[in-house]
Chain A
Amino acid sequence: MVRVIVNDKEVHVPEGETILTALKKAGDAVPTLCFFRHMYREASCRMCLVELSNGKLVPACAYPVSDGLEVRTDTPRVREARRTVVEFILSIHRIRCWSCPRKGGNCELLKLATAYWVEGIPVCSSCPLYGKDCLVVKGEPCLGPITLAGCGDPCPSNGSPCIGCRGPVTRKDVLEAAAQFYVSNGVELKDVLEVASMFWEGLPNYDALKASLEEAFEKALGGGTG
Chain B
Amino acid sequence: MLNAVKEVVESLGIPSDAVKTVGCTGLCYLDPWLELKAPGMPAALYGNVKPAEVEGILKKYFIENDVSGAYAISERTGKAKGEGNVPTLSELDAWKLQVRYVSRNCGVINPESIEDYIAYGGYRGLDRTLRMSPEEVIEEVKKSGLRGRGGAGFPTWLKWRICRNQPSKEKYVIVNADEGDPGAFMNRLLAESDPHRVLEGLIIAGYAVGATKGFIFVRAEKPLMAERLQKAVEEARSHGILGRNILGRGFDFDVEVILSAGAFVCGEETALIAAIEGRATPRQRPPYPAVVGLWGKPTVINNVETLAHVATLMAEGWESFTAYGTKESKGTKMFCVTGAVKRTGAYEVPIGTTLRTLVERIAGGVKEGRKLKAVQIGGPSGGCVPAHLLDTPIDYESLRDAGAIMGSGGIVVMDDAACMVDVARYFTSFIVAESCGKCFPCRIGTKILYDTLTRITEGKGTLEDLEILESVGKVVKDASLCALGGTAPNPVLSTLRHFRDEYLAHIIDKKCPAGVCTKLLKYRINLDKCIGCGTCAKHCPVGAISRDEKSGKYVIDQEKCVKCGTCVTICPVNAVVKEV
A residues with a Cβ closer than 8 A to B are: 42-46, 49, 57, 59, 62-64, 77, 80-81, 84-85, 88-89, 91-92
Closest 10 A-B residue pairs measured CB to CB?
A84-B475, A88-B444, A43-B284, A62-B284, A81-B479, A44-B438, A46-B479, A44-B439, A88-B440, A57-B478
Within the assembled complex, what's the spacing in Å between the Cα atoms of A49 and B284? 12
A43 in contact with B481 (CB, 8 Å):
yes
A223 to chain B, nearest CB (A): 30
Closest to A64 in B: B286
**Least distance between B270 CB and chain A CB atoms (Å):** 11
Q: Which residues of A contact B284 (CB under 8 A)?
A: 42-43, 59, 62-63
Q: How far is the CA of A81 from the CA of B485 in the complex (A)?
A: 14
Is residue B30 contacting chain A, with contact meaning CB distance below 8 A?
no
Q: Tell me the smallest distance from the CB of B309 to a CB of chain A, in Å.
A: 29
> Are A84 and B441 also in contact (CB < 8 A) when A43-B284, A57-B479, A91-B448 are?
yes
Q: Given A62-B284, A63-B286, A88-B445, A81 and B440 touching (CB < 8 A)? A: no
Across-interface contacts of A77 in B (CB, < 8 A): 478
For the complex formed, measure the closest distance between the CB of B505 and the CB atoms of chain A, giving whole angstroms. Answer: 28
Q: Is the CB of A85 within 8 A of B481?
A: no
Q: Which residues of A contact B448 (CB under 8 A)?
A: 88, 91
8 Å CB contact of B480 from A42, A46, A63, A92: A46
Contacts of B478 in A (CB 8 A): 49, 57, 77, 81
Q: Are B440 and A46 in contact (CB under 8 A)?
A: yes
Contact A91 B444, beta carbon cutoff 8 Å: yes
Known: A44-B481, A63-B284. A80 touches B444 (CB 8 A): no
Chain B positions within 8 Å of A91 at CB level: 444, 448
Contact of B472 among A62, A64, A84 (CB under 8 A): A84
Chain A positions within 8 Å of B471 at CB level: 80, 84
B477 to chain A, nearest CB (A): 10
Which B404-459 residues sit within 8 Å CB-CB of chain A?
A: 438-441, 444-445, 448
B278 near A: Cβ within 8 Å? Answer: no
Q: B287 on the interface (CB 8 Å rule)?
A: yes
Q: How far is the CA of A103 from the CA of B53 in the complex (A)?
A: 78
Given A80-B475, A92-B444: 7 more A-B contacts, CB < 8 Å? A42-B283, A44-B439, A57-B479, A80-B471, A81-B441, A84-B479, A89-B444
Residues of chain A lying within 8 A (CB to CB) of residue B479 = 46, 49, 57, 81, 84-85
Min CB gap A4→B, angstroms:
15
Q: Shortest Cβ distance from A146 into chain B, in angstroms? A: 24
Is B286 within 8 A of A85, CB to CB?
no
* CB-nearest residue of chain B to A66: B286
> Which residues of B sit under 8 angstroms from A59, Cβ to Cβ?
284, 481
Chain A interface mostly helix, strand, loop or mixed? Answer: mixed
A95 to chain B, nearest CB (A): 15
- B440 CB contacts on chain A under 8 angstroms: 44-46, 85, 88-89
In contact, B445 and A45 (Cβ under 8 angstroms): no
- Complex: chain A residue closest to B480, CB-CB: A46
Assembly CA distance A16 to B471 (angstroms): 35
A56 nearest CB neighbor, chain B only? B478
Which residues of B sit under 8 angstroms from A80, Cβ to Cβ?
471, 474-475
Show 6 residue pairs from A and B whose CB-CB distance is below 8 angstroms, ordered by the A residue. Answer: A46-B439, A46-B441, A46-B481, A80-B471, A81-B441, A81-B479
B475 cross-chain contacts in A, Cβ below 8 A:
80-81, 84-85
Counting contact residues on chain B (CB < 8 A from A), the size range is: 10 to 19
Q: By CB atoms of chain A within 10 A, which of B284, B286, B438, B445 has the most? A: B284
Q: How far is the CB of B445 from chain A (nearest CB, A)?
A: 6
Q: How far is the CB of A92 from chain B (nearest CB, A)?
A: 6
In the complex, the chain B residue whose C-beta lies closest to that of A58 is B284
Q: Residue of B at shortest CB range from A80? A: B475
Question: How far, in Å, is B492 (CB) from chain A's closest CB?
Answer: 15
Q: Which of A42, A88, A92 meets B441, CB within 8 Å?
A: A88
Give chain B residues whose Cβ lies under 8 Å from the Cβ of A43.
284, 439, 481
- Nearest A residue to B471 via CB reads A84
B232 smallest CB distance to A (angstroms): 37
Q: CA separation between A44 and B438, bound complex, in Å?
A: 6
Q: How far is the CA of A91 from the CA of B468 in the complex (A)?
A: 14
Q: Considering only CB atoms, which chain A residue lies closest to B442 in the complex?
A: A46
Closest chain B CB from A61 CB (angstroms)? 9
Chain A residues with Cβ below 8 Å from B472 are 84
- Give the most central of B448, B472, B478, B479: most A CB within 10 Å: B479
Interface residues of B in 236-252 (CB under 8 A from A): none
Question: Whole-angstrom distance between the alpha carbons of A44 and B439 in the complex?
Answer: 4
For the complex, give the distance between the alpha carbons of A44 and B287 in Å. Answer: 16
In the complex the two chains form, what is the Cα distance from A46 to B287 in whole Å? 17
Identify the closest chain B residue to A92 (Cβ): B444
Smallest CB-CB separation from A55: which chain B residue? Answer: B478
Report the bound CA distance from A104 to B284 in whole Å: 35
Residue of A whose beta carbon sits closest to that of B436: A44
Q: Once the chains are docked, how many angstroms separate the CA of A35 from the CA of B538? A: 62
Of B287, B440, B478, most buried by chain A (CB within 10 Å of CB) is: B440
Residues of B close to A42: CB separation below 8 A: 283-284, 438
Residues of A within 8 A of B445 (CB): 84, 88
The reply to whether B287 and A64 form a contact with Cβ atoms under 8 Å apart is yes
CA distance A130 to B441 in the complex (A): 33
Shortest Cβ distance from A17 into chain B, in angstroms?
A: 13
Distance, CA A73 to CA B471, complexed state (A): 20
A90, closest chain B residue (CB): B444
- Bound form: Cα–Cα A45–B440 in Å: 6
CA distance A144 to B26 in the complex (A): 66
> Once bound together, how far apart are the Cα atoms of A80 and B472, in whole Å?
10
The CA of A77 and the CA of B475, in the complex, are separated in Å by 9
Q: How far is the CB of B482 from chain A (nearest CB, A)?
A: 10
B491 CB to closest chain A CB (Å) equals: 19
A87 to B: closest C-beta gap in Å: 9
Residues of A within 8 A of B481 (CB): 43-44, 46, 59
CB distance from B289 to the nearest CB of A (A): 15
